[in-house]
């Protein structure tokens, strides 16, 4: 039993080693430094951060998948590295940091004949967008005049033009489209959830992120009565 | 000198100018046969290069010349050879010897055509004290149709020419370097001559030892009649001579070299001194390349046909490619073959020109998928 475990362990190690040799898959972008696309031809597709990368190879003239698809990813040095040789024409990969993710594919038919390698297909992954809401007070009094200012703080305010949309308990607050929102007019004691959705758009691809902040509306003390002792 | 390469199975006519320039030979070659046409010089050299391990050399008739013979002693118009080396054949022109077959009148020294240091006798010659006939004494000779007519101990037999004609019959003396037969002949310079005779013992005792001689100088090895062959069995002796700068009239002779006092009785016939033409042929055999292919082959898109050749060597060989329809394919196209089919390849040695047997190989070429595009999904 002990011998079997050792064998199994060795086999797994070998398989892992072999997989690493054959499929030197590298996470992250092929090109993290080039400028973001400014024209539609600069990249085949633009993806938001966190969106999976999904690519499709062609089918043969009869509309049938080729026997095998050899997917290559360009590494940081510009070399095409075989990622996988797979059946099925769709290849997916999780995206990482912003940058260009460059791929090529070779198709293989039933005779084992392979196509020329495709041209490079580029996907640009936009930078990650996060936003945090800050407020000087997380509670206000349940009176119309009580107020607090919510400020949306996005991670790259200057990189792209950002749009804002504030919500109150998930309902869009008309006109609340700036980076700040002044909470006021809350007259009923409750916990109110304010949210902000920050978005930007690059060549038709829109990305957004949302953050919320609870504001506690504290009831006012009841009108006091004075009694004689 | 002519030099040419001869592929197997090819028939071509070659011509070449010979030096000294006296004429031109035509060599007709068929299946490695070589032959000669118009004769103008006494010796010619030819080099042939043959693919394979055997070839047949052929002569052709030459006006005024006959009796072709080969370096190995064989006669006839062809010789099959199986190894590289030097060969020759020669043909003999008309003999310049007068009355070499001794058919002319015998009593007239002018028409007899030759002289001798020995004493001429006839069956009617007085021979006081002779025991056995006209040639009882040593140092005598005669011309007759039967040796026995001149000595009762000489064996009876016919001449070499016809079996019923005349021959020279001699009772040799015991003195060497004595001329038995001599004749002045006209010599051309720079010409090869053959000097030959047929001879036999007329009595088995002490077979004759003779020597060809020209202008007083011995020529070739001595003529030793067999001690085992019966009397009347004619034996052929021959030697060759190049006249060099000699020209004009020179004496040729048969000289006695036997010093035995007993025997030395012999007959001579058909003496020939004739110009010869000799064709020297240097034959080089070259191996036929053996082409080996690997087959069949399946390829994608295009295929390099040279990859089927075992030991492909473009430095040493030319390669020839043909498709299944027999169309020639250039090497450049053969290296990027795009059509499936059966292809024929031959290999030719660049130096020897020898070509292998054609070999076939079957190539199956499957199409490659077109260059793909990638879409995002």
Question: Both tokens of residue B96?
Answer: 């310049």
**Domain A131-218: homologous superfamily in CATH:** Immunoglobulins (2.60.40.10)
Question: Both tokens of residue B54?
Answer: 């055997």
DSSP H or E stretch at residue B160: none
Q: Which residue, chain included where needed, has tokens 């498709």?
A: B323
Which is it for strands A131-134 and A147-154: parallel, antiparallel or unpaired?
Answer: antiparallel
Torsion, CA B113, CA B118, CA B119, CA B122, rounded to 10: -60
Sequence-ordered alpha helix ranges (H) in B126-199: none
Are B368 and A55 within 8 A, CB to CB?
Answer: no
Which is it for strands B265-286 and B43-51: parallel, antiparallel or unpaired?
Answer: parallel
Which of A71, A85, A111 is the best substitution to test chain B (most B C-beta atoms within 10 A)?
A111
Where in chain A are all domains bearing CATH 2.60.40.10? 28-125, 131-218
Question: Both tokens of residue A54?
Answer: 């999904």
Task: Tell me how many degrees the CA angle B357-B362-B364 measures, rounded to the nearest 5.
Answer: 155
Phi, psi of A2 (to 5 degrees): -65, -40
Q: Say yes or no: B374 contacts chain A, CB-CB below 8 A.
A: yes
Mean pLDDT for all residues in chain A: 89
At residue A99, the 3 state secondary structure works out as strand
Are B376 and A66 within 8 A, CB to CB?
Answer: no
**Domain A28-125: homologous superfamily in CATH:** Immunoglobulins (2.60.40.10)
Question: Both tokens of residue B366?
Answer: 């499957």
Are A118 and B374 within 8 A, CB to CB?
Answer: yes
Q: Please state the rounded mean pLDDT for residues A63-79.
A: 96
Question: Both tokens of residue A101?
Answer: 């993710």
Are A118 and B373 within 8 A, CB to CB?
Answer: yes
Which is it for strands B85-92 and B66-70: parallel, antiparallel or unpaired?
Answer: antiparallel
Regions of chain B with pLDDT less than 70: 1-43, 105-106
- Which chain B residues in 288-307 lie under 8 Å from chain A, judged by CB atoms? 298, 300-301
CA nearest to B302 within chain A: A113
At residue B200, the 3 state secondary structure works out as strand
- Single out the residue of B76, B44, B77, B58 nearest to residue B11, CA to CA: B58
Indicate the residue of B301, B369, B377 with minimum beta-carbon distance to A56. Answer: B377
Question: Both tokens of residue A81?
Answer: 């590295």
Are B376 and A44 within 8 A, CB to CB?
Answer: yes
What's the pLDDT score for residue B355? 97
What's the pLDDT score for residue B105? 64
- Single out the residue of A63, A45, A41, A65 nearest to residue A54, CA to CA: A45
Which of A40, A47, A113 is the best substitution to test chain B (most B C-beta atoms within 10 A)?
A113
CA nearest to B371 within chain A: A116
Indicate the residue of A45, A107, A114 with minimum beta-carbon distance to B376. Answer: A45
Query: How far is Cα A132 from Cα A196, in angstroms, rounded to an integer?
Result: 9
What's the pLDDT score for residue B42? 62
What does R_g of chain A's alpha carbons equal in angstroms? 28
Considering only CB atoms, which chain A residues are within 8 Å of B372? 57-58, 105-107, 115, 118
CA atoms within 13 A on the CB side of A205: 19
- 8 Å CB contact between A171 and A159: no
Query: How far is Cα A127 from Cα A201, in angstroms, rounded to an integer?
Result: 12
Sequence-ordered alpha helix ranges (H) in B73-150: 109-112
CA distances from B236 to A67, B160, B210, B215 (A): 89, 10, 13, 22
At residue A124, the 3 state secondary structure works out as strand
Which is it for strands A131-134 and A163-168: parallel, antiparallel or unpaired?
Answer: unpaired
Residues written for chain A: 229
What's the pLDDT score for residue B126? 80
- Single out the residue of B190, B201, B325, B296 nearest to residue B247, CA to CA: B190
Tens digits of per-residue pLDDT, A123-154?
A: 999 999 999 999 999 999 999 999 999 999 99
Q: Which residue, chain included where needed, has tokens 């409750």?
A: A190
Tens digits of per-residue pLDDT, A147-206?
A: 999 999 998 766 789 999 999 999 999 999 999 999 999 999 999 999 999 999 999 999
What's the pLDDT score for residue A9? 43
Q: Is the dihedral of CA B111, B114, B119, B123 positive or negative?
A: negative
Residues in A lying within 8 Å of B, measured between beta carbons: 44-45, 53-58, 60, 66, 90, 103-109, 111-119, 121, 123
Query: How far is Cα A107 from Cα B376, in angstroms, rounded to an integer?
Result: 16
Paired strand residues for B46: B2, B281
What's the pLDDT score for residue B31? 35
Query: How far is Cα B267 from Cα B166, in angstroms, rounded to an integer?
Result: 10
Tens digits of per-residue pLDDT, B36-76?
A: 333 344 667 899 999 999 999 999 888 889 989 999 989 99
- Please report, in angstroms and rounded to a whole number, the separation of the first and last CA atoms in chain B: 82
Q: Say yes or no: B262 contacts chain A, CB-CB below 8 A.
A: no
What confidence tier does A100 reach under pLDDT thresholds 50, 70, 90? very high
Are A56 and B376 within 8 A, CB to CB?
Answer: yes
């Amino acid at each position: 039993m002990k011998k079997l475990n050792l064998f199994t362990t060795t086999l797994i190690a070998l398989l892992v080693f072999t997989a690493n040799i054959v499929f030197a898959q590298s996470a992250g972008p092929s090109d993290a430094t080039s400028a973001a696309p400014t024209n539609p031809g600069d990249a085949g597709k633009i993806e938001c951060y966190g969106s999976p990368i999904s690519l499709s190879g062609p089918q043969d003239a009869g509309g049938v998948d080729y026997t095998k698809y050899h997917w290559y990813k360009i590494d940081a040095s510009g070399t095409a590295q075989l990622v996988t040789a797979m059946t099925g024409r769709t290849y997916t990969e999780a995206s990482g940091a912003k940058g260009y993710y460059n791929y090529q594919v070779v198709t293989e038919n039933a005779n084992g004949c392979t196509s020329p390698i495709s041209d490079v297909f580029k996907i640009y992954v936009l930078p990650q967008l996060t936003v945090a809401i800050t407020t000087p007070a997380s509670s206000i009094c349940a009176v119309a005049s009580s107020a607090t200012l919510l400020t949306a703080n996005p991670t790259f305010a200057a990189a792209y033009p950002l749009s804002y949309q504030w919500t109150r308990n998930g309902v869009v607050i008309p006109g609340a489209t700036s980076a700040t929102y002044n909470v006021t007019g809350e007259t009923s004691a409750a916990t109110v959830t304010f949210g902000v959705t920050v978005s930007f758009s690059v060549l038709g691809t829109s990305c957004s992120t949302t953050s919320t902040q609870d504001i506690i509306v504290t009831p006012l003390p009841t009108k006091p009565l004075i009694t004689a002792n | 000198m002519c030099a040419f390469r001869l592929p197997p199975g090819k028939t071509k006519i070659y011509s070449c100018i010979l030096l000294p320039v006296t004429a031109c030979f035509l060599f007709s070659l068929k299946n490695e046969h070589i032959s000669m046409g118009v004769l103008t010089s006494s010796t010619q050299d030819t080099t042939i290069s043959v693919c394979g391990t055997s070839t047949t050399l052929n002569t052709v008739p030459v006006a005024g010349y006959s009796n072709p013979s080969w370096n190995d002693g064989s006669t006839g118009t062809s010789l099959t050879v199986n190894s590289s080396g030097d060969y020759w054949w020669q043909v003999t022109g008309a003999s310049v010897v007068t009355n070499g077959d001794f058919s002319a009148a015998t009593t007239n020294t002018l028409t007899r055509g030759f002289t001798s240091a020995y004493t001429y006798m006839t069956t009617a010659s007085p021979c006081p004290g002779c025991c056995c006939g006209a040639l009882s004494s040593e140092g005598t000779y005669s011309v007759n149709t039967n040796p026995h007519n001149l000595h009762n101990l000489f064996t009876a037999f016919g001449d070499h020419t016809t079996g019923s004609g005349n021959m020279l019959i001699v009772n040799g003396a015991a003195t060497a370097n004595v001329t038995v037969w001599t004749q002045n002949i006209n010599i051309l310079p720079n010409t090869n001559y053959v000097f030959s005779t047929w001879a036999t013992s007329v009595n088995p005792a002490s077979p004759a030892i003779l020597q060809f001689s020209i202008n007083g100088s011995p020529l070739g090895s001595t003529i030793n009649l067999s001690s085992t062959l019966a009397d009347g069995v004619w034996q052929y002796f021959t030697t060759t001579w190049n006249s060099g700068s000699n020209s004009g009239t020179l004496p040729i002779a048969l000289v006695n070299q036997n010093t035995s006092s007993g025997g030395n009785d012999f007959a001579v016939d058909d003496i020939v001194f004739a110009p010869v033409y000799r064709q020297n042929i240097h034959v080089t055999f070259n191996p036929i390349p053996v082409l080996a292919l690997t087959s069949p082959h399946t390829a994608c898109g295009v295929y390099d046909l040279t990859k089927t050749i075992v030991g492909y060597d473009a430095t040493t060989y030319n390669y020839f490619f043909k498709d299944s329809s027999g169309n020639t394919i250039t090497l450049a196209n053969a290296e990027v073959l795009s059509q499936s089919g059966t292809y024929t390849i031959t290999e030719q040695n660049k130096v020897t020109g020898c070509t292998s047997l054609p070999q076939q190989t079957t190539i199956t070429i499957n199409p490659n998928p077109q260059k793909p595009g990638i879409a995002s999904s």
